[in-house]
């Protein structure tokens, strides 16, 4: 026969001070665990949002990122002619050759320079990347030293407010627009005219770092890849854009996640020790009660179940508190270095319901471990001795 839960709830109430210690220990552990996972998830989501399943990115063969790649004008023409590429209403191909460089601009928070990705594009880019839209101002005029900046870049680096001017490579550039790319990595970038950017950075004209092309249909990917890689004039790698960005996020999000698991694991050991302490003192303080229960005919299994349940209940309260504590972190924007591209990237913490379920499961697990040993001790207590102390 099971011991009613109300017995446990009342017992916790009677010894709330020690229970609070366990609750806070578990809340802290769950909170730190979730915060680290939310950070890893946010970083990953930012890069994943950058890729569209309908797009392919074409880089020089062997180059793992845009930074180390180069595609020339001739090759762009061949890509333009590929039959699998989607076309605009006027029949022109939806292909965006892009120049990617890094400029150093001071961070708003510290004033120290950060590496900001500057992307040289043509106005066709908005059709190739429909998730990018101008939020304020307008698109830059081609041939003019005008910039548009991502909505995170405006808030992260100094001097990019709409309408202000900024000096890059001896030229004065005017910020004419702010764009929003649905929380992707482009939000941390600065965009301008591709030809002018090559000039400013004294790079050879007609050389691009990458070419992004929109497919007529997602199923054409293999066909396009075969067309391009079998052409003797081309030495390129063709990658699905989503896969390309997913790979970029891997190193950093794995590192954050690994550190998160390590820290959470160590903290969990501490929290379980705390829970064990609480439950052991609960068991010894209630020796007579337990003996009485046993004498009344409750089996030893019922006693074990009851104490484990009590410990899980305490842990669950901690878990819920930990979850609640990380909710305000959702959407909190942090910046870090994306080692793959060597540039600074802003991303938002993502606290999702599935993450919270993990947090709660984690707290239940800690409660179970912390309750089991004391519960077994409770069940093994000889009834007669315990009652004699009455």
Partner 1 sequence: MKYLPFILRNLKRKKTRTILTVGSIAVAVFLFGLLIMIETGLNAGVDVAGADRLVVRNRISLIQPLPLSYQERLRQIDHVTEATFASWFGGVYQEERNFFPQFSIDTETYRDVFTEFVIPNEQWQAFSADREGAVVGRSTAEKYEWEIGDRVPIRGTIFQGAWEFNIRAIYEGGTAEADETQFWFHNAYLDERRQWGKGLIGWYTVKIDDPDHAVEVAAAIDERFANSSWETSTETEKDFARGFAQQIGNIRLIVLSIGAVVLFTLLLVTGSAMSTAVRERIPELGVLKTLGFGDGTVLGLVLAESVLIALVGGGLGIGIAKLFALNGDPTNGMLPIFYLGWESMMLAIALSLMVGLLAGAIPALTAKRLKIVDALRRV
Q: In the complex, what is the shortest distance from the CB of residue 122 to partner 1, in angstroms, rounded to a whole number? A: 22
Q: Which is nearer to partner 1, 301 or 339 (CB)?
A: 339
Q: In the complex, what is the shortest distance from the CB of residue 211 to partner 1, in angstroms, rounded to a whole number? A: 18
Asked if 18 touches partner 1 (CB under 8 A), the answer is yes
Q: In the complex, what is the shortest distance from the CB of residue 26 to partner 1, in angstroms, rounded to a whole number? A: 9
Q: What is the C-alpha to C-alpha distance for residues 366 and 357, in angstroms, rounded to an integer?
A: 14
Query: Which residues, including other chains, have CB under 8 Å from residue 295's CB and lie 6 or more apart?
Result: 383, 387
Beta strands 210-214 and 207-208 are unpaired
Q: Which is nearer to partner 1, 163 or 204 (CB)?
A: 204
As a dihedral over the C-alpha atoms of residue 24, residue 27, residue 29, residue 34, rounded to 10 degrees, the angle is -160
Asked if 112 touches partner 1 (CB under 8 A), the answer is yes
Which two three-digit tokens encode residue 196?
């002018």
Which one of 53, 83, 270, 331 is in contact with partner 1 (CB under 8 A)?
270
Q: What would the x/- binding string for partner 1 be over residues 288 to 317, using CB under 8 A?
A: ------------------------------
As a dihedral over the C-alpha atoms of residue 201, residue 160, residue 140, residue 217, rounded to 10 degrees, the angle is 90
385 in Cβ contact with 86 (< 8 Å)? no
Q: Which is nearer to partner 1, 220 or 237 (CB)?
A: 237
Query: Which residues, including other chains, have CB under 8 Å from residue 218's CB and lie 6 or more apart?
Result: 53, 54
Q: Which is nearer to partner 1, 39 or 95 (CB)?
A: 39
End-to-end, the C-alpha distance of the chain in Å comes to 25
Q: Which is nearer to partner 1, 94 or 282 (CB)?
A: 282
Site of tokens 């059709």: 127
Binding site for partner 1 (CB under 8 A): 17-18, 20-21, 24-25, 28-29, 31-32, 60, 62-64, 67-68, 101-104, 107, 109-110, 112-115, 168-170, 201-202, 251, 255, 258-259, 262-263, 266-267, 269-271, 273-274, 276-278, 280-281, 334-337, 342, 344
């Amino acid at each position: 026969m099971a011991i009613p839960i109300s017995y446990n709830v009342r017992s916790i109430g009677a010894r709330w001070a020690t229970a609070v210690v366990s609750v806070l220990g578990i809340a802290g552990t769950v909170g730190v665990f979730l915060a680290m996972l939310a950070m890893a998830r946010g970083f990953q989501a930012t890069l994943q949002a950058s890729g569209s399943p309908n797009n392919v990115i074409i880089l020089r063969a062997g180059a793992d990122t845009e930074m180390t790649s180069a595609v020339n004008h001739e090759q762009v023409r061949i890509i333009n002619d590929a039959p699998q590429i989607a076309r605009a209403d006027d029949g022109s191909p939806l292909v965006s050759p892009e120049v990617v460089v890094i400029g150093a601009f001071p961070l708003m928070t510290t004033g120290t320079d950060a590496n900001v990705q500057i992307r040289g594009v043509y106005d066709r880019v908005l059709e190739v990347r429909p998730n990018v839209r101008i939020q304020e101002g307008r698109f830059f005029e081609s041939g003019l030293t005008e910039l548009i900046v991502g909505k995170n870049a405006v808030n992260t680096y100094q001097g990019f407010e709409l309408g202000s001017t900024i000096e890059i490579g001896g030229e004065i550039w005017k910020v004419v627009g702010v764009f929003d790319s649905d929380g992707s990595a482009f939000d941390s970038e600065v965009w301008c005219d591709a030809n002018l950017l090559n000039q400013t950075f004294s790079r050879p004209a007609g050389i691009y770092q990458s070419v992004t092309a929109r497919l007529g249909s997602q199923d054409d990917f293999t066909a396009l890849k075969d067309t391009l890689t079998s052409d003797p004039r081309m030495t390129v790698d063709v990658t699905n854009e989503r896969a390309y960005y997913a790979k970029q996020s891997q190193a950093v999000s794995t590192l954050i996640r690994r550190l998160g698991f390590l820290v959470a694991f160590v903290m969990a050991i501490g929290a379980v020790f705390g829970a064990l302490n609480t439950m052991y003192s609960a068991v010894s303080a209630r020796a007579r009660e337990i003996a009485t229960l046993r004498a009344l005919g409750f089996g030893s299994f019922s006693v074990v179940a009851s104490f484990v349940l009590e410990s899980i209940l305490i842990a669950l309260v901690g878990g819920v508190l930990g979850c609640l504590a990380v909710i305000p972190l959702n959407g909190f924007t942090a910046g870090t270095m994306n080692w793959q591209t060597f540039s600074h990237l802003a991303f938002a913490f993502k606290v999702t319901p599935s993450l919270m379920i993990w947090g709660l499961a984690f707290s239940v697990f800690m409660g179970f471990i912390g309750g089991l040993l004391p519960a077994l001790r409770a069940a093994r207590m000889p009834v007669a001795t315990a009652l004699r102390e009455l």
